[in-house]
Amino acid sequence: MTDPIADYLTRLRNAIKASHRIVEIPASNIKKELTKVLHDKGYIQNYKFEEVGPQGSIKIALKYNPSTKQNAIVSLARVSKPGLRKYVKHDELPRVINGLGVAIMSTSKGVMTDKEARTEGIGGEVLCYVY
């Protein structure tokens, strides 16, 4: 697999379109960090890391609005790709939908959102946009 983050986002996107409650994804350290950020920002309901086999897996419970049955995640977009990496400085951090969405970034201090990186004053690689 050349791009595990794109695979992670595609599995989430497909589960949302199929209205699944739970999606299971092969685990890696970057995927675990992405899952923690999505949970902290309220885009997913819950998650569980399972150490089964050599790689392990992540079980993610997706979050739906009980009255409208719409998912909390409207769009997932990969920004930095293996063929074209997207790095930004601390003063050029992106704003997703004028601050309503989040840009998940990989920085020297770990995986965080654009707002957290802005307060820390650090830049890094823009992994994806979520709103």
Instruction: Write down the pLDDT at residue 100.
Output: 93
Mean pLDDT across 117-129: 97
Which CATH number does the domain 76-130 belong to among 3.40.720.10, 3.30.1490.10, 3.30.565.10, 3.20.20.70?
3.30.1490.10
Q: Tell me the residue type at 18.
A: A
CA-nearest of 124, 106, 93 to 37 is: 106
- Angle at which helix 4-17 crosses helix 29-40, to 10 degrees, equals 40
pTM: 0.93
Instruction: Write down the pLDDT at residue 122.
Output: 97
pLDDT at 110 over 90: yes
d(CA 53, CA 65): 34
Instruction: Write down the pLDDT at residue 69.
Output: 86
Instruction: Write down the pLDDT at residue 52.
Output: 87
CATH class of 4-62: alpha beta
SS3 label, residue 49: strand
Share above pLDDT 70 across residues of the chain, in percent, rounded to a whole number: 100
Instruction: Write down the pLDDT at residue 98.
Output: 92
pLDDT digits (tens, 9 = 90+) for 51-101: 988 999 999 999 999 898 899 999 999 999 999 999 999 999 999 999 899
User: Rounded mean pLDDT of the chain?
Assistant: 95
Q: Where are the domains of the chain?
A: 4-62, 76-130
And the tokens for 65?
């609005």
- In terms of C-beta distances under 8 Å and separation of at least 24 residues, what long-range contacts does 98-104 make, across chains too? 100/131, 101/75, 101/129, 101/130, 101/131, 102/37, 102/41, 102/129, 102/130, 102/131, 103/79, 103/127, 103/128, 103/129, 103/130, 104/34, 104/37, 104/38, 104/128, 104/129, 104/130
pLDDT digits (tens, 9 = 90+) for 18-29: 999 999 999 999
d(CA 129, CA 97): 10
On whether the CB atoms of residues 88 and 123 are closer than 8 A, the answer is yes
